[in-house]
Structure 1
């Protein structure tokens, strides 16, 4: 079976934690907008990758400007985001019209490697789903009813993206009515009874949400080059 490859890159953030007028996905990282690096990683992973960029309408002109920086331009379609992540991803999925491996990725994770993207692709072909995770390094405590207790951190994983699925699993899941308990795509697909397959993510696949993250990302990029 030949599967298409579709990356739905969700960039709905307004940059409030960044205290920045520019949305965080358009802040500069090593001379290019954060989102440029994210798109470039998917374009580099597979020559036949189709990219669906899900953005608030107010950011369309930003995005079109950013795409001018590519030569050649990857196959990118821009789609309007929804009121929640669930609705944004659902809007992006409207463009998946044939059997595909669908990657859903945070626009503000610009350091995802082509290696991880390919590993997610292969795992999704084998298992139907592929969710990258990393270990917790910090000690954690659970707070309940005024008390707190130490928790065994080995029982927990930190979830990353791209969360990757065969289209026949993710498309029906996103026909479900919205539920606030849907925190990511994996929780939506699980609701239909599909187990999710975890695979090792990457420590460097960080999410840019505050100014310090940009500094860390700059350092990681320098190291990479």
Structure 2
């Protein structure tokens, strides 16, 4: 199986609303460095030939440059202006992907992604055309439909993580489709073109930082490493 170009599209368009912070969550401090620094560093360190495309609002470009100043050696990174939705932001980032690539699409606020998981997604994408990491549900869940609610079998459901990883020849044509509000992630877009989504085991530590407690948990996990 031949090696492919590797491109990580890191989407960092969040605000600080749920964090009760005026600072967007990707720029909040996590153990002395911005959250986004840890995310970028994970991909830059996973493969020496990794190219990184950072997609974010143009108003945040200056903040992103400050994040990059924490690196002793600036990674191979391109800043791209985001769109109105995640779909449009990823589509903008894909313009930098090129052909013959494995493309990782990752949330900028998942800073604890491991090298092992990045490589697992890469290998699975080479074999299956695409791969997304998932973890099991621990809690009981119920479906609420109007005034009725019912228990469902949690074994039939998975929690989806990123990086959602696909060959460029799968992802680029998919993102030429017209936007649909049902496109909640990259997998739903690829599925629309008939591609089967392959699941790989994710990681409990690969949390998405959206609320203040998440930042506390991430700091504790980083301290353990």
User: What TM-score comes out, normalization by structure 2 length?
Assistant: 0.98
Q: List aligned pairs for 1:16-31, cutoff 5 A.
A: 16-31=17-32
SS of the residue corresponding to residue 78 of structure 2 reads: strand
**Which residue pairs with 2:48 in the alignment?**
47
CA displacement at 1:72 relative to structure 2: 1.3
Deviations 1:44-89 (A, max 9, x none): 1000000000000110000011101112111000000000000000
The corresponding residue for 2:129 is 128
- Contact between 1:133 and 1:159, CA under 8 Å: does it hold in 2? yes
Deviations 1:74-108 (A, max 9, x none): 10000000000000000000001221000000000
Which residue of 2 is the match for residue 108 of structure 1? 109
Question: Counterpart in 2 of 1:71?
Answer: 72
Residue aligned with 1:51, SS = strand
Give the whole-Å Cα distance in 1 for the aligned partners of 2:165 and 2:66: 28
Tell me the TM-score normalised to structure 1 length: 0.98
- Paired residue for 2:61? 60
CA RMSD of aligned residues (A): 0.6
Aligned length: 224
Q: What's 1:187 paired with?
A: 188
Residue aligning to 2:146: 145
Q: 1:2 to 1:116 in 2, by over 3 A?
A: closer
CA distance in 2 between partners of 1:62 and 1:29 (Å): 15
* 1:37 alignment counterpart: 38
CA contact (8 A) 1:2 1:99 kept: no
Post-superposition offset of 1:145: 2.7
The farther-off stretch of 20-29 and 66-75 is 66-75
Q: Which residue is 1:157 aligned to? A: 158
Structure 2 Cα separation of the partners of residues 99 and 122 of structure 1: 15
Report the equivalent of 1:168. Answer: 169
Secondary structure of the residue aligned to 1:95 is coil
Q: Is the 8 A contact 1:54 1:81 kept in 2?
A: yes
Q: Which residue of 1 aligns with 2:89?
A: 88
Runs of 4+ in structure 1 deviating by more than 6 angstroms, as ranges, are none
Q: Please state how far the C-alpha of 1:2 moved relative to its aligned partner.
A: 4.1
Q: SS where residue 161 of structure 1 aligns? A: coil
3-state SS of the aligned residue for 2:209?
Answer: coil
Equivalent pair of 2:99/2:169 in contact (CA under 8 Å): no
Deviation at 1:15, TM superposition (A): 1.3
Q: Which runs of 5+ in 2 are unaligned?
A: none
Q: Distance in 2 between matches of 1:214 and 1:2?
A: 36
Aligned residue for 2:70, secondary structure, equals coil
